[in-house]
Structure 1
Amino acid sequence: MTKLTVIGLRGIPDVMGGIETHCAQLLPHILANVAPGELKITLLARQAYVDARKEVNGVEQIPIWAPRHPSAETIVHTLIALLYARFVLRTDLVHLHAIGPGLLAPMARLLGLRLLFTHHGADYRRQKWGPFSRFMLRRGESLAVRFSHRVITVSPSTAKRLQARFPKKADRIVHIPNGFSSEEPSEAIPDLLAKHALNAGSYVISVGRLVPEKAHDLLIKAFQASRLPLKEPPWKLVIVGDSDHASDYARSLSDRAERDENIILVGKVPRKTVLALNAESGLFVLPSYHEGLSIAALEALHSGVPVLLSDIDANLNIGLPQRNYFPVGSTEKLTEKLDADLSDYTQSLNVDLSHFDWQEIARTTLAEIELLAGGAPLRRIVAPHAEQQSKA
């Protein structure tokens, strides 16, 4: 049996964050492709977010201690998790996520581990980091690419940038995108709409953690400056998400919401509820300064509602028409977009979402795992129709 240990995220299934959502969707799909007993996946989560050892959709999840400090949490947890993977789990392979944990890629190699790395975005571009943290995150990106056996990027523009920057490693770098959830939305949505006095089709929704790079403050300003709150009934702005740690930024958003009854901070809710809120909204907006490849945006597109995204590379990679984008950081341009005919942003765009299917993403990722394990293919689960054809 091949043992794969996943490190670099807080935990699954309903832990907030893009990497967490990515793994919650991807890992069970990978296991669904291989025969029982072929592959064991263990996720080393952070104890503050996952309180008990348990199995989640076939993935064994073990909480490991980490300090509750924004600057120390990731690196300390990654260090402990790598030692635990090597000496307790005696794992064969490690799948490391994000450039912060990437700082310890050389250590993983020194421990004799085979290393797969997924680059989820240039985190050093986030506003919350100071000069030293930005420098360290850039080092994490560099070390992860140089010391990993295989590198996955969720964004094609990131793959091209890394291949150009590390030409000797270019053949190890592949692009495999994020996907969108095909779960059924929650049926309890009417109660939530009533609780916040929301009218279906008459609210703007944004989904993401309450951190500066998500630009919720910009969206609030643009929404308040637009004509949407003046409509009858007044439109509202719904922000779904929370902060990992107490911050001045999160408190400032809360203060603004308290002063304006048309701004609703829903907080963290289950994924099925997010999908339902998307489907009932009148417009989804993602104003971020930084993304890897936004799962929240893909899920909004899948729901069929109008969508507006900032024009950063990761959002442009989704491939929407130009009218669905606005200049990043521009309150004025976003306000103009909110005051335009929102039906122009609907997904009558014939956008091909087939390459964002988790099943296909899982198969492609599994091929990378097999390369890491020496190239020998793991026994696959034979689909019923394929089995019948082979007997015919």
Structure 2
Amino acid sequence: MKKVFVVGVVGIPACYGGFETLVENLVEKSASDVTYTVFCSEHDYDVQLSEHKGAKLLYLPFKANGMQSILYDTYALIKSLFYRPDVVLILGVSGCVFLPIFKLFSRSKVIVNIDGLEWRRAKWGRFARAFLKLSEKLAVAFSDTVISDNQAIYDHVLSCYKRHSEVIAYGGDHAMVRAVSGFHDSYALALCRIEPENNVELILKAFADLDIPLKFIGNWHNSEFGRRLKIEYSNVANIELIEPVYDPEELFAYRDQCRFYVHGHSAGGTNPSLVEMMFFAKPIFAFNCNFNRYSTDGKAMYFDSPDSLKTIILSWEKTGDAAAEEIGRAMNDIAVQRYTWAKVTQAYQKLYQ
């Protein structure tokens, strides 16, 4: 039996984001010789289960995000010393400043998924960026195995730290709660956390000058940035700003019925929302960065400004349904080849051995 302890997530059942969905699927598809223990934040669970899908759950008295994530991850690593698991799987680098000390007292194999170069995100101040960059450096230096979720992250680790890492992305097939209809409505769809590096304002500016309907799903009320955009664009006739959608069936319907998908992320490696959408075989317009180009194998359509987004949409519209089907088919082929949870789980389990 391989005992794997998971550090760095809010917890399971999944209720937050990409890492939580990853752990949910690792646990659900676990091999018979692998057991999981997952650290969870007691702040996010009114009902605290002792186990979930065969994984043992241990609750910690800190929040898993923000500044408390450092304490949260560090405390999880300290508790792991006493349990002596075979593998400690760390998702994100917040607590990796403790890794040099942890390695002095533990024989556990340490695997770190360094996430998407978190220190580059615009939301962090100068001190936070410096801390996260230091944490990343220590994560790479003191882990036994580094996981990059995108080839661009691999290139960064190799260039900056002269170390090879394992490229394992995320699965997206959990989004397919039923068969796609094969039909579409007239609207474009965008879906993300409302943060500057997701180029939300760029997308809204472009569609404000188009006649094409846009449904944009996001957490508009969680920041001053989001609230300002909500006020500014709520009265634009062809733009509908929708609050976060968590119900899988409802989210499936939005994706299934959209005409095409606009993906503005410019940071974060392989974005779960992108690989989930690729399974729907719809044309994808993605922000032009190496993360997105690697994820879509260079076969999507790419923009870097409101004008370029408008130009490629209008140009694409003239090419007809055949071009749309070709791009959508390419997205689906890549997703099936790379982004199923069965393949992701198998890759992680191989690293435990």
**SS of 2:334 mapped into structure 1:** coil
Matches within 5 A, 1:262-341: 262-321=239-298, 324-327=301-304, 330-341=305-316
Report if aligned partners of 1:204, 1:282 keep a CA contact under 8 Å in 2: yes
Alpha-carbon deviations, 1:83-131, whole Å to 9, x = none? 22223x4433210011323333223313414311112211111110111
Q: Partners of 1:13 and 1:256 in 2: how far apart?
A: 36
Deviation at 1:69, TM superposition (A): 7.2
Structure 2 counterpart of 1:109? 103
Cα distance in 2 for partners of 1:56, 1:237 equals 35
The alignment status of 1:118 with 2:100, answered yes or no, reads no
1:49-128 map, 5 Å: 49-51=44-46, 52-67=48-63, 70=66, 72-87=67-82, 89-112=83-106, 113-128=108-123
Q: Matches of 1:76 and 1:282 in 2, distance apart?
A: 44
Question: Where do 1:9-28 residues align within 5 Å?
Answer: 9-28=9-28
> Does the CA-based 8 Å contact 1:203-1:238 persist in structure 2?
no
Q: Is the 8 A contact 2:171 2:272 kept in 1?
A: yes
Check the 8 A contact 2:120/2:267 in 1, yes or no: yes
**Aligned AA (1:164):** S
Aligned match of 1:175: 167
- TM (norm. structure 2) is 0.87
Distance 1:93 1:135, change over 3 A: same
User: Which one of 346, 349, 353 corresponds to residue 330 of structure 2?
Assistant: 349
**Residue 223 of structure 2 is aligned with which of 247, 257, 261?**
247
Identify the residue that residue 389 of structure 1 maps to in structure 2: none
Structure 1: distance between partners of 2:20 and 2:61: 17
Q: How far off is 1:46 after superposition?
A: 1.9
**1:183/1:122 CA distance change after superposition, 3 Å:** closer
When residues 54 and 308 of structure 1 are mapped into structure 2, their CA distance, relative to the original with a 3 A threshold, is farther
More displaced stretch, 5-14 vs 287-296? 5-14
Question: Retained in 1: the 8 A contact 2:152–2:294?
Answer: yes
| SS across alignment from 1:348 | helix
How many residues end up aligned between the 2 structures?
341
What CA distance in whole angstroms lies between the structure 2 residues aligned with 1:105 and 1:256? 45
SS of residue matched to 2:291: helix
Equivalent residue of 2:43, what SS?
coil
CA contact (8 A) 2:282 2:329 kept: no
Decide whether the 8 Å contact of 1:14 with 1:270 is kept in 2: no
Q: Distance in 1 between matches of 2:134 and 2:69?
A: 15
CA contact (8 A) 1:103 1:137 kept: no
| Aligned match of 1:388 | none
Q: Does the aligned pair in 2 maintain the 1:226–1:336 contact within 8 Å?
A: no
**CA gap 1:285/1:101 in 2 versus in 1, 3 angstroms:** farther
Return the letter of the residue paired with 1:76. Answer: L
- Measured in 2, the distance between the counterparts of 1:285 and 1:181 equals 19
CA shift in 2, pair 1:348/1:3, >3 Å: closer
Which runs of no fewer than 5 residues in structure 1 stay unpaired? 190-198, 229-234, 371-392
Whether the 8 Å contact between 1:275 and 1:299 is mirrored in structure 2 is: no
Q: 1:274-329: per-residue Cα shift (whole Å, max 9, x none)? A: 233211111111111212101211111111112111111111102444561112xx
Q: RMSD of aligned C-alpha atoms?
A: 2.7
Is the contact between residue 169 and residue 344 of structure 2 (CA under 8 Å) also seen in structure 1?
yes
Q: CA deviation at 1:61?
A: 2.9
Identify which range, 341-350 or 108-117, moves more after superposition: 341-350
Q: Distance in 2 between matches of 1:63 and 1:109?
A: 23
Structure 1 counterpart SS, 2:59: strand
- Asked whether the equivalents of residues 282 and 328 of structure 2 are also in contact (C-alpha less than 8 Å), the reply is yes
Q: Aligned match of 1:206 in 186, 190, 197? A: 190
Give the whole-Å Cα distance in 2 for the aligned partners of 1:164 and 1:68: 30
1:159 aligns with 2:188: no
Aligned to 2:3: 3
Sort the Cα spacing of 1:109 and 1:211 in 2 relative to 1 into closer, same or farther, 3 A: same
- Residues 210, 242 of structure 1: 8 Å contact kept: yes
**SS of corresponding position for 2:276:** helix
